[in-house]
């Protein structure tokens, strides 16, 4: 902790140093486009209470006036906001983000225009009692109709295509991808800086590693000049500290060195160690102590491989297999979401073994809180600049706007250790290449000159890539650089394509219409029927395509599980939903086991997408209610930091993949077991194993067994002798199972059996949670727990026979952190539900 740091100020005095939010008393009014030229002309009726930061859609939702599935085209009307400011003397107003074409008025006088939702603005004012601040968000129609340079290509993704000329997120403008809730309003905070002399203007923090030490640099600027003789400052990082020096009456600067600094790691490979930061100001004998958050020390490098064609990250010198998903938004209406929503999602990501999230170019720059939580949870962030698909204007004014936007983003996120990759944009080069343009005609200096120069200047510690995808003969080639891999998934290739494609790094991959649990389908969507118009409206589709992502999932249902999807939907809809949930978990597990194996050329994969933007069978691993889907559980089963997995090597049988990403040596025992009829032992073997830190081993199942056995039923010398192979990794000291993998030589789902499952319900006094204890006499395939009040922390998993399994139950209405102490007690509602499995004759009830 911080040494010799004391707080000697009252709360009001401490607050005066910091910008204060202007977040109450706001009203908003929507009008036809350009109906009113100034605030003086506005009517007094029709105003709504408004949240700031917030959006017009958010204000309407709060008033019960928004149909999120059929919203009006908000970006094509005008919207006014107003609030009264009180005080005397000089102040500085700071607007962190106004979406999108905005005017700022003070007491009826227009003070400036905003042309980008991604640029922050400052306005110095003089208060003399009451002052009216008004904002006008103008219709996009005139700007979209204005003539600019002609585009070399027009992507189908975005409507209208002239959005290329404006600096706004594509969210709300992508038919088939998300609801058309268009971003309008003061979506980022508006703040007012205090009066002189107390007012922090900006705090710039950077960290670096020098040999074994960490160094933190601080540049603190005040909004108003200070008496250099009257104020002394000291800066603390953990137990280390140093004095700050005045550059001029506005600027304090200094550096703290932390001896033998602990490194920040992605949580899969170590601890995301952060050091607390504190600023201590002695102002004319008054001691003020100001916490400045925290900071981490890490090094990130790109490994290109022996042929120079690869892409993988090394963190602190250690190779890291990056896995996770592409971020959308915690709340499409507000564009930010609450801290509780963000924390719940980071909890789910970490519990699923994710160590990277990608904020793509079709989205937006997230809040400081988002990046701070990534630091805290040990999750790497791949950040695209907010550019996607378009042939952007190359004129001086547009380039200057991008430069300002990017510089501000890099400056405000400079302190965050989790920021791991900066990318020019999404699918820009790919779009041009797919339209047939040669490389010379598709190059944009924006990505090859302007942005890399800014990154080198502002965040040289973060690797930059020009586009996602990029590299190879074509930008979208899978066997070089960065790809968007949809071979398995959208393009309906066989599972073997995951190896054949020789993926180096998939910044997007797979993509399925992932079916939520019945609770979400019933509560949020209002239907369980897949041909209901409400269901189909929520299924994502690419504009112009003759298929949607239900069809993609159905393809794998048919090819892997041997069912006819259309007939099953007709005959047995609940069974269709159950198999649909299982098959995506199956496919995700297989693809990532392949990419993560010893000898793989793949450095990572990010599933498309993390969260749904509307209720239904969307791309998200998490549904619109914040509940994990089967796909997320399949991800978790395959991507533990300490993992055992299978890869099918055809005539060479099965390979067992042992992975230890942790910084400690693991000693344990590996057991191999083949069962017939889910319970009869056919063959088995075991041996001790030791896994060095950050290492992997490949073990041939044939070599482990020491005799011929047709694990994959590839030779087909007679009927198949087993139906499941199980690899179990146990801890040597405790005997506890730390990881388990299953291989089915035949995945068809024709047979169902009495599994002999027993279930007990108990309350765990130590954790405060209810839990289920499951045990079965026969192998259970994709166990799924259904409870109206609780969700299972672990779900959609295979269960070996005679294996006791304890599953924590989490209340639906509470944050999804299985490690946190719960407020539940034995008087809270007792769980009552059912346990299902794909191969069970019927559900087993408990309660």
For 367-404, what is each residue's pLDDT tens digit?
Answer: 999 999 999 999 999 999 999 999 999 999 999 999 99
Strands 604-607 and 322-327: parallel
* Contact in structure between 759 and 715 (CB atoms under 8 Å): no
Q: Work out the average pLDDT over 566-570.
A: 95
**How many H helices and E strands in the chain?**
18, 42
Tokens encoding 258: 């932390």
Tokens encoding 133: 């601040």
The CB density around residue 497, as the number of other CB atoms within 10 Å, is 18
CATH number of 323-638: 3.20.20.80
Tokens encoding 639: 């991507």
Tokens encoding 40: 């003086």
Strands 790-792 and 797-799: unpaired
Q: What is the dihedral of CA 171, 177, 179, 185, to 10 degrees?
A: 0
pLDDT band at 287 (very low <50, low <70, confident <90, very high): confident
Q: What is the pLDDT of residues 178-235, one digit of tens each?
A: 899 999 999 999 999 977 677 899 999 999 999 999 999 999 999 988 877 778 899 9
DSSP 449: I
Superfamily of domain 758-846: Immunoglobulins (2.60.40.10)
Superfamily of domain 642-743: Immunoglobulins (2.60.40.10)
What one-character-per-residue DSSP string does 629-674 give?
A: -HHHHHHHHH--SEEEEEEE-GGG-EEEEEEE-SSS-EEEEEEEEE
Q: Has residue 282 got a pLDDT over 60? A: yes
* Contact in structure between 483 and 504 (CB atoms under 8 Å): yes
Q: Has residue 11 got a pLDDT over 50? A: no
Q: What is the pLDDT of residues 587-630, one digit of tens each?
A: 999 999 999 999 999 999 999 999 999 999 999 999 999 999 99
Q: Counting Cβ atoms within 10 Å, is residue 682 exposed (0-12), middle (13-18) or buried (19+)?
A: middle
Q: What is the pLDDT of residues 156-183, one digit of tens each?
A: 899 999 999 999 999 999 998 889 999 9
Q: What is the pLDDT of residue 196?
A: 65
pLDDT band at 815 (very low <50, low <70, confident <90, very high): very low
**CATH T-level topology, domain 198-295:** Immunoglobulin-like (2.60.40)
Q: Has residue 825 got a pLDDT over 80? A: no
Q: What is the pLDDT of residues 439-456, one digit of tens each?
A: 889 999 999 999 999 999
pLDDT band at 819 (very low <50, low <70, confident <90, very high): very low
End-to-end CA distance of the chain: 47
Angle subtended at Cα 487 by Cα 485 and Cα 490, rounded to the nearest 5 degrees: 95
What one-character-per-residue DSSP string does 102-162 give?
A: EEEEETTEEEEEE-BTT--EEEEEEEEEEEEEEEEE--SHHHHHS--PPPS---SSSSSGG
- Rounded CA-CA distance 634/626 in Å is 17
Q: What is the pLDDT of residues 514-547, one digit of tens each?
A: 999 998 888 888 877 887 888 888 999 988 788 9
Q: Which residues 6+ apart lie within 8 Å of 237 measured at CB?
A: 214, 216, 256, 258, 275, 276, 277, 295
DSSP 601: -
Q: Across-strand partners of 131?
A: 85
Length of the chain: 847
Q: What is the pLDDT of residues 46-81, one digit of tens each?
A: 999 999 999 999 999 999 999 988 999 999 999 999
Identical fold at 20-193 and 198-295? no
Q: What is the pLDDT of residue 817?
A: 39
Q: What is the pLDDT of residues 694-713, one digit of tens each?
A: 999 999 999 999 999 999 99
User: Which of 713-717's residues contact partners 24+ apart within 8 Å by CB, and which partners?
Assistant: 713/745, 713/746, 714/650, 714/651, 714/653, 715/651
The fraction of the chain above a pLDDT of 90, given in percent, is: 86
Domain ranges in the chain are 20-193, 198-295, 323-638, 642-743, 758-846
Q: pLDDT: is 254 or 827 the higher one?
A: 254
Q: Has residue 13 got a pLDDT over 80? A: no
Could you give the C-alpha distances from 280 to 224, 255, 289, 379, 597, in angstroms and in order?
A: 19, 14, 4, 30, 50
DSSP 721: -
pLDDT band at 660 (very low <50, low <70, confident <90, very high): very high
Q: What is the pLDDT of residue 826?
A: 52
- Rounded CA-CA distance 546/410 in Å is 41
- Rounded CA-CA distance 549/795 in Å is 23
Q: What is the pLDDT of residues 634-643, one digit of tens each?
A: 999 999 999 9
**Candidates 3.40.50.2300, 1.20.120.1150, 2.60.120.260, 3.40.50.720; correct CATH number of 20-193?**
2.60.120.260
Q: What is the pLDDT of residue 828?
A: 76
């Amino acid at each position: 902790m911080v040494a010799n740091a004391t707080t000697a100020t009252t709360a009001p005095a401490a607050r005066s140093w910091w910008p204060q939010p202007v977040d109450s008393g706001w009203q908003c009014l929507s009008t036809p486009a350009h109906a009113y030229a100034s605030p003086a002309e506005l009517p007094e009726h029709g105003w709504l209470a408004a949240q700031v930061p917030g959006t017009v859609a958010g204000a309407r939702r709060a008033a019960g006036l928004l149909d999120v599935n059929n919203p009006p085209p908000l970006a094509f009307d005008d919207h006014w906001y107003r609030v009264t400011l009180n005080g005397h003397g000089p102040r500085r107003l700071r607007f962190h983000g106004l979406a999108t074409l905005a005017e700022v008025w003070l007491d009826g006088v227009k003070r400036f225009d905003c042309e980008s939702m991604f640029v922050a603005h400052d306005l110095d004012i003089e208060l003399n009692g009451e002052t009216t601040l008004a904002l006008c968000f103008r219709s996009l129609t005139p700007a979209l109709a204005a003539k600019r340079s002609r585009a070399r290509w027009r992507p189908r993704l975005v409507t209208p295509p002239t959005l290329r000329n404006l600096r706004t997120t594509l969210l709300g403008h992508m038919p088939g991808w998300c609801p058309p809730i268009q971003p309008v309003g003061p979506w980022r905070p508006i703040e007012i800086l205090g009066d002189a002399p107390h007012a922090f203007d900006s705090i710039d923090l950077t960290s670096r590693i020098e040999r074994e030490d960490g160094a933190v640099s601080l540049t603190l600027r005040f909004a108003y000049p200070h008496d250099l003789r009257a104020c002394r400052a000291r800066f603390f990082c953990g137990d280390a500290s140093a004095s700050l020096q005045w550059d001029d009456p506005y600027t304090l600067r200094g550096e703290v060195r932390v001896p033998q600094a602990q490194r920040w790691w992605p949580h899969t490979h170590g601890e995301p160690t952060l050091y607390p930061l504190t600023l201590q100001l002695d102002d004319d004998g008054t001691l003020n102590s100001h916490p400045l958050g925290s900071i981490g020390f890490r090094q990130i490098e790109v490994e290109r491989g022996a042929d120079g064609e690869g892409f993988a990250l090394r963190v602190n010198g250690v190779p890291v297999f990056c896995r996770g998903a592409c971020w959308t938004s915690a709340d499409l209406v507000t564009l930010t979401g609450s801290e509780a929503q963000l924390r719940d999602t980071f909890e789910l990501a970490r519990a699923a073994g994710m160590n990277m999230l990608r904020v793509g170019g079709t989205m937006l720059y997230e809040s400081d809180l988002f990046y701070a939580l990534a630091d805290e949870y040990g999750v790497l962030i791949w950040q695209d600049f907010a550019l996607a698909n378009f042939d952007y204007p190359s004129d001086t004014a547009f380039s200057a706007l991008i430069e300002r936007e990017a510089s501000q983003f890099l400056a405000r996120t400079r302190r965050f250790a989790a920021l791991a990759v900066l990318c020019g944009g999404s699918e820009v080069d790919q779009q041009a290449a797919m339209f047939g343009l040669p490389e010379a005609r598709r190059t944009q200096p924006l990505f090859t000159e302007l942005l890399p120069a800014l990154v080198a200047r502002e965040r040289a510690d973060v690797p930059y890539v020009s586009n996602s995808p990029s590299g190879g003969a074509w930008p979208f080639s899978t066997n070089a650089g960065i790809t968007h891999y949809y071979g398995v998934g959208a393009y309906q290739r066989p599972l073997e394509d995951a190896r054949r494609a020789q993926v180096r790094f998939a910044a997007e991959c797979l993509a399925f219409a992932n079916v939520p649990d019945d609770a979400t389908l019933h509560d949020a969507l209002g239907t369980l029927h897949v041909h209901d118009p409400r269901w189909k409206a929520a299924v994502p589709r690419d504009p112009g395509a003759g298929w949607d992502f239900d069809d993609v999932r159905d393809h794998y249902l048919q090819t892997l599980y041997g069912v006819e999807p259309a007939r099953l939907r007709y005959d047995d809809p609940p069974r269709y939903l159950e198999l649909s949930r299982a098959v995506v978990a199956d496919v995700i597990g297989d693809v990532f086991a392949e990419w993560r194996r010893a000898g793989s050329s793949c450095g990572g994969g990010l599933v498309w997408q993390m969260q749904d933007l509307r209720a239904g069978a969307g791309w998200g691993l998490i549904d619109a209610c914040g509940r994990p889907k089967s796909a997320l559980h399949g991800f978790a089963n395959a991507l533990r930091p300490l993992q055992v997995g299978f890869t099918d090597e055809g005539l060479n049988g099965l390979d067992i993949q042992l992975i230890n990403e942790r910084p400690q040596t693991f000693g344990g025992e590996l057991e191999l077991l083949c069962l017939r009829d889910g319970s009869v032992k056919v063959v088995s073997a075991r041996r001790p194993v030791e896994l060095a830190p950050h290492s992997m081993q490949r073990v041939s199942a044939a070599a482990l067994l020491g005799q011929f056995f047709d694990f994959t039923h590839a030779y087909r010398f007679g009927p198949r002798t087993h139906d499941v192979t199980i690899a179990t990794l146990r801890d040597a000291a405790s005997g506890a199972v730390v990881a388990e993998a299953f291989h089915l030589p035949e995945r068809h789902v024709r047979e169902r059996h009495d599994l002999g499952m027993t279930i007990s319900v108990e309350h765990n006094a130590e954790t405060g949670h209810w839990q289920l204890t499951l045990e079965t006499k026969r192998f259970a395939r994709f166990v799924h727990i259904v409870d109206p009040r609780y969700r299972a922390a672990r779900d959609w998993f295979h269960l070996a026979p005679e294996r006791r399994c304890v599953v924590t139950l989490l209340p639906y209405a509470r944050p999804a952190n299985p490690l946190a102490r719960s407020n539940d007690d034995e008087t809270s509602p007792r769980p009552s539900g059912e346990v299902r499995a794909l191969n069970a004759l019927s559900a087993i009830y408990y309660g």
